[in-house]
Amino acid sequence: MSSTDTTTPSETKLTSAEVVQITKDTNYGTWRYQKGWNPLHIVDAEGCYITDGNGKKYLDFSSQLMCMNLGHKNPAVIASIAKQAEELAYAMPGYATTTRAELSKLLLEVLPKGLNKFFFTTSGTDANEAAFKIARMYTGKTKIIARYRSYHGSTSGSIAATGDPRRWAMEPRGKGPGIIFAPEVNCYKCPIKHTYPTCGIACVDYLEHMIRNESDVAAVIVEPIVGTNGILVPPSEYMPRLRKICDEYGVLMIADEVMAGWGRCGTWFAMDLWGVTPDILTTAKGITSAYVPLGLCATTEKIGDFFQDHYFSHGHTYEAHPMTLAPAVATIKEMQRLGLVERAKELEPFVEEKLQALKAKHRSIGDVRGKGLFWAVDLVKNRETKEPFNTYVDKVSGKPLVVDQIAGKLAADGVMIQAWVSHIVIAPPLIVTKEELEKGIDALDRHLSIADELCV
């Protein structure tokens, strides 16, 4: 550097290789062994496309963890962030702000009817932590019934309620007080070996059996359509039945719509698929299309009223942060203007048909299932036994996974896809076109031979 050069070393443009190296050296790669972490350098994104440090463009078939429902570079959302920063970057949560009132009014329009008291957080995890505390304060009870094959977040309460093996790292010392697990709903691989519909949805009967045989149950938490653990869609009777059971025993129903909400399933919220209103709904991700971190814990008025005369013992410095609320207002308005919820619903049969055709062609596909623009391609070694190529135990022990090999090939082919243990998720931004859907699914078609060849 010459003596007249005014750039400091930290202002010098880093090469892609340097960006990756510094990130690896100084950051944790999450939910993985640190060894072998080689993050892709992302430099730009627009609509359904992402560009890496080498100028390679990818079709984003995962919406980046099922977040970017509006796609990248939405001008209205970007403008809302700039405007809010200029007007009022922050005010303590005890104050009312115009943005807060505007968002609350919009939420009343789009949330399942009856949810009208809001607590704004900064992630899905802390929305669920709030839900647990609210449920416990309101009912005066402790236990939360969660289900296996669920994910509810990464901090102590929410990881304790997570029914997949990511919880194991925290046990026994992180075992949540009073969290108990019910079997998941999974009609493709029923954990209690029943077959729908002759089972009469025995899994929900089992949940009732648990409530009857336990004392001190405050709430049941469910992902209405299980996200990470396999896009598990319950039979249509499940949620209405669970609603009845919760009412009968005075147990609160918490719907975790962090991933399934915001049009992903072809309705504003997954619970709308069955016309069921939970007592508490939690969400995040699509609420701002992830332009800014925001979470929400919404409750019924009845729960809200309880706290008129009871101390609401909860809060965060960054709760209802104006910078997080403004892009949510813009996101909801954009979703309404572009008709994205309807669009996800309209595209559902097209995706289903394409994926069923893929299943007919590839013997490694055991099942395809989903709603709206939220689908799983479930891979098996053998269709008869339904044995997966890998299990969660393989994942947490760092074993290479077949789905990761497929995702790697797809990335080389210009399609970014979310692969998880033994299934591949199809969840592009809701602005995706039929041509883009076709392009991504055709790319998957080209690389499924990796799994087909391993079938037994």
Residues at the contact surface with ligand PMP, assessed by CB under 6 A: 123-125, 128, 151-153, 223, 227-228, 256, 258-259, 284
> Which own/partner contact pairs does 49-54 have at CB distance under 8 Å and 24+ positions apart?
50/416, 52/16, 53/16, 53/19, 53/20, 54/16
182 vs 448, which CB is nearer to ligand PMP? 182
The alpha carbon of 255 is separated from its chain's Cα centroid by a whole number of angstroms, namely 12
Assess contact for 253 and 279: CB atoms under 8 A.
yes
Closest approach, Cβ 348 to ligand PMP, in A, equals: 20
In the bound complex, what is the minimum distance in angstroms from residue 228's beta carbon to ligand PMP?
5
Q: How far is the CB of 122 from ligand PMP (least distance, A)?
A: 8
Shortest approach of ligand PMP to residue 151 CB, angstroms? 5
Closest to ligand PMP by CB, 47 vs 286, is 286
Number of Cβ within a 10 Å radius of residue 301? 11
Contacts of residue 441, defined as CB under 8 A and 6 or more positions apart, other chains included, come to 351, 354, 355, 358, 426
Q: How far is the CB of 92 from ligand PMP (least distance, A)?
A: 23
Contact 390, 424 (CB under 8 A): no
Extract the tokens encoding 454: 């391993």
Phi, psi of 370 (to 5 degrees): 160, -170
Minimum CB separation of residue 65 from ligand PMP in Å reads 6
| Residue 166 in tokens | 């990511």
Please report, as a single letter, which amino acid is at residue 38. N
Q: In whole angstroms, what is the distance from residue 430 CA to residue 435 CA?
A: 13
The two three-digit tokens of residue 352, written as one number:
């289903």
Nearer to ligand PMP, 130 or 380 (CB): 130
Side by side, the strands of the sheet bearing 143-147 are 115-121, 295-300, 280-283, 252-256, 217-222, 143-147, 179-182
Residues ≥6 apart with Cβ < 8 Å to 111: 268, 269, 281, 298
Please identify the residue of the shown chain whose CB is closest to the bound ligand PMP: 124
Phi, psi of 71 (to 5 degrees): 80, 175
CB-nearer residue toward ligand PMP: 127 or 443: 127
Q: Name beta bridge partners: 219.
A: 144, 252
Q: Angle at Cα 132 formed by Cα 131 and Cα 138, nearest 5°?
A: 85
Cis? peptide before 293, omega within 30° of 0: no
Helix axes 202-213, 238-249, angle to 10 degrees: 10
Phi, psi dihedral angles at 317 (to 5 degrees): -55, -40
Q: How far is the CB of 283 from ligand PMP (least distance, A)?
A: 9
> Of the two residues 227 and 234, which places its CB atom closer to ligand PMP in the complex?
227
For ligand PMP, the closer of residues 256 and 436 by Cβ is 256
CB of 428 to ligand PMP, least distance (A): 17
Of 259 and 368, CB closest to ligand PMP: 259
Nearer to ligand PMP, 430 or 451 (CB): 430
Q: Kindly state the smallest distance separating residue 230's Cβ from ligand PMP, in Å.
A: 12
How far is Cα 162 from Cα 279, in angstroms, rounded to an integer? 20
DSSP lists the bridge partners of residue 374 as: 371
SS3 of residue 279 by DSSP: coil
Q: Which is nearer to ligand PMP, 231 or 284 (CB)?
A: 284
Nearer to ligand PMP, 99 or 228 (CB): 228
Shortest distance, CB of residue 432 to ligand PMP, whole angstroms? 20
Q: Closer CB to ligand PMP, residue 296 or residue 380?
A: 296
Considering the complex, what minimum distance in angstroms separates the CB of residue 169 from ligand PMP? 16
Does a cis peptide bond (omega within 30 degrees of 0) precede residue 39?
A: no
